[in-house]
Chains A and B, each alone.
Chain A
Amino acid sequence: MSTKIFRDPLYNYVAIDRDRDDWLLDLIDTAEVQRLRRIRQLGVSHFTYPGADHSRLSHTLGVVHLMQVAWRHIETLERGPDVERAKHPLLAAAVLHDVGHGPFSHLFEPALGIEHEKWSCEILQNPDTEVHQKLTEHDIPVDQIVALIQKDNHDRPPWQKTLLSSELDVDRLDYLGRDSFFTGAGYGHFDWYRILNSFALQMTDDDFKILVWPEKAMYAIEEYIFSRFYMYNQVYQHKTTRGFEKVIHAAWRRATDLRIDGRDAWLVREIAEFLDARPPTVKYYLAMEDATLVYQMQVWTRHPDPVLSDLARRFLFRDRLCVLNDPVAEAAVGDERTRWESELARVVGAEDFDANYYMLRDDLKLTIYNPYIPEKEEREQDPYNAIMIQPDQGGKPREISTILDRLATVTGVREKRFRYYVPDECRDKARALAESRNW
């Protein structure tokens, strides 16, 4: 037996059996998967946490490792051709679930109006990609992998989909641990091995087979939920990181507005080709990587438009905007946000900044990362909104926070909704306005 070993800081060894799973190595070696080396896992979090330079590829290999661990456990639970046929699509989906990420991972999605999941599926289905060719060569059904990756596609059995994407899945288990390790934030310690070696496959009243966990796994899951809460607050929603994301979006918006006005936005070739293609193609999409966007920012620092060049300079040289917490009264049905924002825009405009690009609102709910907030009504609970524990004494599975009361401190927490970013030059007046509540 020959084994391919990847050294990994989380799991030490990620091992793939060459004799049995050579197809998996072929898939990892494709151009589209290797491109993930050049996409940062955490976008611009390295502006806040200098160590957070890890790539989507390292996360992908981590997800493959955890899927292998979960699969070995499944083989102890169930046997048979149906289960065996699920193995290759699940492992392939683990490799390919993030293959459609654009520059700086999630950061570029709102700017370009793209969803990485959609592009992942396009890449799988496009006959010109190496990924598609390798899947076909090894008789791995592309449509099954697409069904596993697409959020709203329910053609694959629920237990298979939820292994990859649910409230407790191999994707989250890896990225929480990995992002914690590389940021140095240190919150991502939980017993993933127990979580992946203790679940059971159980039929629901509605005849769905789902994953449930025994009580003995409860404390490992509790650690995971706390870890997710801390990472959400300390890393994924960090005000500095989010501020630079807003600066990129503002620069992008400015460049788009210049193009609409018929002016040359000095787009680098890879981005221009993608935007000009009708419809956008996989080939052009894959040509955009982190370095493309960094180079675009470098180019924009020399652009004659003062707004575009200033925003690009702020991004490249880490010149932060000032953050303001949301001052709008919270306990109201209809809020005063419109009036607050128009007054804040006036303050920003008075300092000769165009509020369209320098008064930046961060909607904290519009994020790919979120803490665990379960659905509490049993007749609406499923693995996509609740982690279910099978009580030792029998009966129906219960959502974990109904068993461990202390989880309510992190599962029922009201989230902050908005932050605002303005240039430092406006800071004092903007803060005075916020405190005066005079709008």
Chain B
Amino acid sequence: MERYHLAKLVQFAGTLRTRKALQKVVYLLQSAGCPLEADYSLHYFGPYSADVARLTDEMTQLELLKEEPVANPAGQQFNYELTPRTQVQIRSFEATPEGKAAAAVFSPFEDLARELVRVEPRELELAATVAYFKRCQHNWDEAVAKACDFKRVNQDSPQMQRAIALAERVVPSET
């Protein structure tokens, strides 16, 4: 995954709330066919990419992203915004041939990205887990059953139902 693409996700969100949301949004975008090329494996909280985590930390250290720790019932969550310098850099980069090429990769998925960054993190976690099992060559029923078993959630709960609907909309049916 490139810095530019991560920066664009944060730009779409304004404030991207939680690293969890960032992880799952990237995974769902990849599931939709966006070639972000982050390597994922299944963790307890759903698909997780060390690539995405490290890129986020790297950009924070370089002051390309502003990180804000916020207390939550589990401990801390981290929210991200672009720094003013990064806003300028994005505009400059998009004026170059390399920037135009990077933007073209992302543009078909921009509407979906803008939608996903606004979904509640737990719902993203459940949707990404369903998408993960679907991409492991299970059919939809099996993927949902596997995800519910793995996450120990009731398939009929309203949150899980929303997550399943989101996953079905994101993952192309032929995968």
Output the nearest chain B residue to A153 by Cβ-Cβ distance: B42
- The secondary-structure label for the interface of chain A is loop
Partner of A331 from the list B41, B64, B75, B76 (CB cut-off 8 Å) is: B64
Please, which residues of chain A bring their CB within 8 A of the CB of B89?
332-334
Output the nearest chain A residue to B7 by Cβ-Cβ distance: A333
Partner of A334 from the list B3, B62, B63 (CB cut-off 8 Å) is: B3
Taking the nearest CB of chain A, how far is it from the CB of B17, in angstroms? 11
A365, B51: Cβ atoms closer than 8 Å: yes
B98, A154: Cβ atoms closer than 8 Å: no
A330, B150: Cβ atoms closer than 8 Å: no
A206, B102: Cβ atoms closer than 8 Å: no
Whether, in the assembled complex, B31 has its beta carbon less than 8 Å from a beta carbon of chain A, the answer is no
Whether, in the assembled complex, B77 has its beta carbon less than 8 Å from a beta carbon of chain A, the answer is yes
Whether, in the assembled complex, A414 has its beta carbon less than 8 Å from a beta carbon of chain B, the answer is yes
A331, B20: Cβ atoms closer than 8 Å: no
A379, B45: Cβ atoms closer than 8 Å: yes
Whether, in the assembled complex, A133 has its beta carbon less than 8 Å from a beta carbon of chain B, the answer is no
A377, B76: Cβ atoms closer than 8 Å: yes
A379, B20: Cβ atoms closer than 8 Å: yes
Please, which residues of chain B bring their CB within 8 A of the CB of A334?
2-4, 89-90, 92-93, 96, 98-99, 102
Whether, in the assembled complex, B169 has its beta carbon less than 8 Å from a beta carbon of chain A, the answer is no
| A-binding segment of B53-61, B104-112, B159-167 | B53-61
A378, B76: Cβ atoms closer than 8 Å: yes
- The secondary-structure label for the interface of chain B is helix
Whether, in the assembled complex, B19 has its beta carbon less than 8 Å from a beta carbon of chain A, the answer is yes
Task: Give the number of A-B contacts (CB < 8 Å).
Answer: 98
> What is the bound-complex CA distance between A311 and B99, given in angstroms?
36
Output the nearest chain A residue to B91 by Cβ-Cβ distance: A333
Please, which residues of chain A bring their CB within 8 A of the CB of B50?
370, 373, 385
A206, B62: Cβ atoms closer than 8 Å: no
> What is the bound-complex CA distance between A350 and B4, given in angstroms?
33
Whether, in the assembled complex, A412 has its beta carbon less than 8 Å from a beta carbon of chain B, the answer is yes
Taking the nearest CB of chain B, how far is it from the CB of A208, in angstroms? 6
> What is the bound-complex CA distance between A364 and B153, given in angstroms?
39
Please, which residues of chain B bring their CB within 8 A of the CB of A270?
none
Whether, in the assembled complex, A393 has its beta carbon less than 8 Å from a beta carbon of chain B, the answer is no
> What is the bound-complex CA distance between A376 and B76, given in angstroms?
8
Please, which residues of chain B bring their CB within 8 A of the CB of A331?
62-64
B41, A384: Cβ atoms closer than 8 Å: yes
Partner of A330 from the list B44, B45, B62, B136 (CB cut-off 8 Å) is: B62
Whether, in the assembled complex, A435 has its beta carbon less than 8 Å from a beta carbon of chain B, the answer is no
B152, A378: Cβ atoms closer than 8 Å: no
Whether, in the assembled complex, A382 has its beta carbon less than 8 Å from a beta carbon of chain B, the answer is yes
> What is the bound-complex CA distance between A419 and B64, given in angstroms?
23
Please, which residues of chain B bring their CB within 8 A of the CB of A396?
75
B41, A151: Cβ atoms closer than 8 Å: yes
A333, B93: Cβ atoms closer than 8 Å: yes
> What is the bound-complex CA distance between A375 and B23, given in angstroms?
11
Whether, in the assembled complex, A338 has its beta carbon less than 8 Å from a beta carbon of chain B, the answer is yes
Please, which residues of chain A bring their CB within 8 A of the CB of B121?
379
Whether, in the assembled complex, A158 has its beta carbon less than 8 Å from a beta carbon of chain B, the answer is yes
Partner of A385 from the list B42, B53, B64, B98 (CB cut-off 8 Å) is: B53
Taking the nearest CB of chain A, how far is it from the CB of B126, in angstroms? 12
Partner of A333 from the list B4, B53, B78 (CB cut-off 8 Å) is: B4
Q: Interface digits, B30-73 against A, CB 8 Å rule (1 contact, 0 not)?
A: 00000000000111110010110110011001111000000010
Query: Known: A331-B63, A333-B4, A333-B93. Contact between A377 and B77, CB under 8 A?
Result: yes
B18, A154: Cβ atoms closer than 8 Å: no
Taking the nearest CB of chain B, how far is it from the CB of A74, in angstroms? 20
> What is the bound-complex CA distance between A11 and B16, given in angstroms?
49
Whether, in the assembled complex, A19 has its beta carbon less than 8 Å from a beta carbon of chain B, the answer is no
B54, A380: Cβ atoms closer than 8 Å: no
Query: Known: A207-B152, A331-B63, A334-B96. Contact between A384 and B43, CB under 8 A?
Result: yes
Closest 6 CB pairs between A and B? A334-B93, A378-B75, A382-B44, A333-B89, A378-B74, A377-B19
Q: What are 5 A-B contacts defined by CB distance under 8 Å?
A: A154-B42, A334-B2, A375-B19, A379-B75, A396-B75
Interface residues of B (CB under 8 A from A): 2-4, 7, 18-20, 23, 41-45, 48, 50-51, 53-54, 57-58, 61-64, 72, 74-78, 86, 89-90, 92-93, 96, 98-99, 102, 121, 136, 150-152
Interface residues of A (CB under 8 A from B): 151-152, 154, 158, 204, 206-208, 330-335, 338, 365, 370, 373, 375-380, 382, 384-385, 396, 412, 414-415
